[in-house]
Amino acid sequence: MKLRDYQIDAVKNMKNGCILNGGVGSGKSLTSLSYYYLKNSGDEKFLKGGKYVPMSDPPKDLYIITTARKRDTLEWEGELAPFLLSVHDDKNIYSNKVVIDSWNNIQKYKDVKNSFFIFDEQRVVGSGAWVKAFLKIAKFNEWILLSATPGDTWMDYIPVFLANGFYKNKTEFIREHVVYSRFCKFPKVDRYINTGRLLRFRREILIDMDFKRETVQHHEDIYVKYDVKMYRDVMKRRWDIWKDEPITNASGLCYALRKVVNTHQSRLDALLDIFSRHNKIIVFYNFDYELEILKDIYYGRDVKVAEWNGHKHEPIPKSKKWVYLVQYTAGAEGWNCIETDTIVFFSQNYSYKIMHQSAGRIDRLNTPYKDLYYYHLKTHSGIDLAISRAIKSKKKFNEKAFVDF
């Protein structure tokens, strides 16, 4: 095993309570385990390609909290192998406990003490049950967080700042830094104050991996047609033509407008044209009605079609030609694919963060491809253009700002 230089630098800079910040495919998992290895009396020479030197036995119990998909596909178990660690007692050369589980089960470990936790694919935002369990774990254990996108706003950093002891509670953070808008019916942040202090705290815990990609991403916008008359009619009448009922809010109107533009035949024709040039493609989509359309397409003989979403968790096909249909929410993170160089975004997601994470599924350190191809299917409709502007600005599309109700 041999880490890259930027991984070695990150390991040297890491400390308890830090966020290892590396882009998708930068090797955060291996870097985090290397840090654990050194913390438990491992030898730095091994990380640079030298002979494996065992840790002191027993090293601290290791808990890895990750996505359900990463747990189920055994991805982390492969990363553990070079360190001779395993969740299976008969394969682990040490007498410590190694656990890999999903964020859904984090509360099972809230009473664990004197152990080492790796929190993968950062989920500690807000103030729900996951955050409460995380804060209790952080108080009595060593821990690090791994993230490709550490936080969209300062509010996202609150749990990590609390766990590091920078603030006593959320109330103190808000009192020191948050000014709410006076003109909203619900709490909406107008601006942050004393941001110099926030920047200092973030610099203290954020460990950036200076990752230079060897791949080249090629993004192409492919504009397709849509039913302009139907779009204008829905926009004007505020009427759901599928449910035959009035549309009563911004979310409902945006959903209906997107259904008009996403179901036009020209979008399907564009997808088939791409598939004629790339015989293995991942297709990201948003809605169930899109899934039904995508499943009904005839892609050709001997083409395997599989899906990953809230309904089915099918593996990537092994055939020479395949189409893998992935719903954004279910599959934007927590898995990798080096068997293809092509992703098609059948429709846009509202979130830049989700789009960025989705693109990273094929941009991995061990991909055999140098050139990666991303096709964004969209229209010149008002809603598609507005979503594109939000994503280009690295923001999340706001339905209420787009239409008035």
pLDDT-derived band at 281, boundaries 50, 70, 90: very high
**Greater pLDDT, 310 or 347:** 347
Token digits of residue 381: 């409709």
Least confident interval from 111-115, 144-148, 161-165, 333-337 = 333-337
Question: Which residue range(s) make up the domain with 347?
Answer: 216-402
27 and 167 part of one domain: yes
Instruction: Provide the whole-model pTM.
Output: 0.73
Domain boundary at 208, 242, 263, which?
Answer: 208
Per-residue model confidence (pLDDT) at position 364: 85
Query: Residue 268 CA to chain centroid, in angstroms?
Result: 27
Per-residue model confidence (pLDDT) at position 213: 78
Per-residue model confidence (pLDDT) at position 185: 67
Tell whether the model's pLDDT for residue 123 goes beyond 80: no
335 and 305 part of one domain: yes
Q: Name residue, tokens 């880490």.
A: 3
**Greater pLDDT, 185 or 223:** 223
Region 190-208 average pLDDT: 93
Torsion of CA 161, 167, 170, 173, to 10 degrees: -90
pLDDT-derived band at 210, boundaries 50, 70, 90: confident
Domain at 351, CATH number: 3.40.50.300
Per-residue model confidence (pLDDT) at position 122: 67
Tell whether the model's pLDDT for residue 68 goes beyond 70: yes
Per-residue model confidence (pLDDT) at position 67: 87
147 and 285 part of one domain: no
Sequence-separated (6 or more) residues with CB below 8 Å from residue 81: none
358 and 244 part of one domain: yes
Token digits of residue 51: 């002979």
Q: Find the helix or strand (DSSP H, E) in which 382 lies.
A: helix 382-392
233-238's contacts with Cβ under 8 Å and 24+ in sequence apart are: 234/260, 235/382
**CA quadruple 385, 387, 388, 390: dihedral sign:** positive
**Greater pLDDT, 37 or 210:** 37
Region 273-293 average pLDDT: 97
